[in-house]
Chain A
Amino acid sequence: EAGVAQSPRYKIIEKRQSVAFWCNPISGHATLYWYQQILGQGPKLLIQFQNNGVVDDSQLPKDRFSAERLKGVDSTLKIQPAKLEDSAVYLCASSLDRTSVGIQYFGAGTRLSVL
């Protein structure tokens, strides 16, 4: 079974530029998550999708971050414009469902450096 795919692995941009990350979850997984992991911290949930609908985006900075999951499969997370404090690893995860015991499968992440 193929895992969660993310691209790119690394991205370096200057502040105020835009950037987009892509995630392809495990086939058949209805729930998709985007996390931000700042160095030395645990992953923080940015947004959670159930199929192509948003379940939770309470911690997404909506003035600059946006995400979509068209057709309920792969997903894109965008930052526009980027700030220095957005430097982090962006993790995508998927699970079969959204129940509390659902196991999440993580991609390797995209490491973003904002200069």
Chain B
Amino acid sequence: GDSVTQMEGPVTLSEEAFLTINCTYTATGYPSLFWYVQYPGEGLQLLLKATKADDKGSNKGFEATYRKETTSFHLEKGSVQVSDSAVYFCALSEAKFYFGTGTSLTVIP
């Protein structure tokens, strides 16, 4: 069945460091891929999405490219800020949604 695997955390980075959170997926067809973010005390919210192979989703300095050949959708940001501290969830949608286990990111000044 469909599934999402993302790198385990927690991840701790210094401000302005480069961020990569790995995400790979298994799907029978051609899913849409998402990154959701959950800030402390808040609900999940969509960060970015990509609906087909080679699409790049981007928002708030974050990027992720839909790689069909490697079944991956890695999240990247060139320079993280303290305000990026949150839990990040990779997800896919193919008839229904499947979420990864989440990766906690803490950015220290």
A108 CB, min distance to chain B CBs, angstroms: 5
**C-alpha spacing A88/B97, complex, angstroms:** 19
Chain B, interface SS category:
strand
- Contact B43 A45, beta carbon cutoff 8 Å: no
Closest residue of A by beta carbon distance from B30: A100
A41-B101, A42-B100, A43-B99 known; A108+B42 contact, CB < 8 A: yes
Q: Does A107 contact B (CB under 8 A)?
A: yes
**Interface size grouping (class) on chain B:** 20 to 34
Q: Does B17 contact A (CB under 8 A)?
A: no
Q: Does A102 contact B (CB under 8 A)?
A: yes
CB neighbours (8 Å) of B60 from chain A are none
Q: Does A112 contact B (CB under 8 A)?
A: no
8 Å CB contact of B96 from A3, A4, A56, A108 = A56
- Contact A108 B43, beta carbon cutoff 8 Å: yes
Q: Does A106 contact B (CB under 8 A)?
A: yes
Q: Interface size (A, Cβ < 8 Å)?
A: 23
A93 CB, min distance to chain B CBs, angstroms: 8
CB neighbours (8 Å) of A105 from chain B are 45-46
Q: Does A61 contact B (CB under 8 A)?
A: no
B27 CB, min distance to chain A CBs, angstroms: 11
**C-alpha spacing A100/B92, complex, angstroms:** 9
- Contact A109 B101, beta carbon cutoff 8 Å: no
- Contact A91 B44, beta carbon cutoff 8 Å: yes
Instruction: In the A-B complex, list the 6 residue pairs whose CB atoms are closest, starting with the nearest.
Output: A42-B99, A106-B43, A106-B44, A108-B43, A100-B93, A42-B101
Residues of A near any B CB (own CB < 8 A): 3-4, 33, 40-45, 48, 56, 91, 93, 100-109
Residues of B near any A CB (own CB < 8 A): 4, 31-32, 36, 41-46, 49, 51, 89, 91, 93-102
Beyond A45-B96, A91-B43, A108-B43, 7 additional contacts (C-beta under 8 Å) are A42-B100, A44-B99, A48-B96, A100-B32, A101-B32, A101-B51, A106-B45
